Chains A and B, each alone.
Chain A
Amino acid sequence: MLLDGAMAAGWARTVSLHPALEREFEQRLSDSSTLAFRVALSVLRRREDAEDVAQEAFLRAHRSFASIRDRERFRAWLVRTAFRIALDRIRGEKRRARREDAVAIAARDHEDSAEDHAARGELRSRVAEAVAALPEKLRLVTVLVAIEEQDLASVARLLELPEGTVKSRLHRARKELAERLRWLASDTKAR
């Protein structure tokens, strides 16, 4: 049986939201799209890919909105979903070279000299690699702490975890990062 227009319309009806819910969803969209984008960007490091992931996460959120309409719950769900989609996507792709090129595009400082730019690119790559090598839980905490500008209470709400757990994970993440960035420390000492 072909999926004809009538069936398609019925399908669409099953996922449309009540107007009041649509307004709520619109509000969530306005105040959380940057969050979803940045979580995806932390993994994918390409603006276009991160926007695709944010879009996909919001579409999934729209389908499940009735059960996640509370703001905090919605944002927590969105963070997890965007992070998971981004990880799934990056694991399915072999675009390392393109991503590395894109890092500079995503956050280029146009005032850098060529030399500074090269050095900064190296640092950026090494930092990104060190973060990417963290276990998922530690990686997500590290990224969210950066996104939320060190506000651990906010990160705890996003992860629906006690703040103490966030602190503990952050400490473990930073210890691992310090180990991985020891090369940078040696470089700093040499200068």
Chain B
Amino acid sequence: MKEKIKKIMEIKGETRGVVFKTDEEFILREKGEEGLKKIEKELKKFGYPIKYKEITNMAYYPVGLRILSLLAIKKVFDSSEEEIRKMGADAPKISLIIRFFMQYFLSLRKTLKEVSKMWRKHYTIGELIVAESNEEKKFIILRLKGFNLHPIVCFYLAGYFSTVLKMIVKKSVLCQETKCFFRGDKYHEYLFKW
């Protein structure tokens, strides 16, 4: 396990603190202060402690911590993939960065133009692009390249992207990860339908 964690922490790149703040909100809501303490204890055991309350939304942190935070949550609360996806789906609702991007939520076309920029506001690595979109047929394919962190992040992002899209199309959005680096593909691809 220690070796795995070390490898995770060797991944180059940084993430904005906002991702930990949304994790913190989720834990507090679902499991309370006690739950948060348990997660922090687990992260300490991993050898990379995170003090969620001390994290600031816009500061940068090693991207490996993003994975560790999710892994600690999964381990302590025995969370299913669906629960991790739900956690991702709740995150944009309280994300400061998403609020900054709200001006682009006027139309789908306008929002899609800003997808890469929105990604860059969260992570210093990876590239998110719109591979295909069809408003009439009501679907979008998002492609994520160079962001091969851990399968747990795939579930989280599926939920996250679905909520952001729901905020634009104002309808429930179904998401499927059609391509995944961890299943042998070159990149991740998410299909969204509404």
A and B found bound together: no
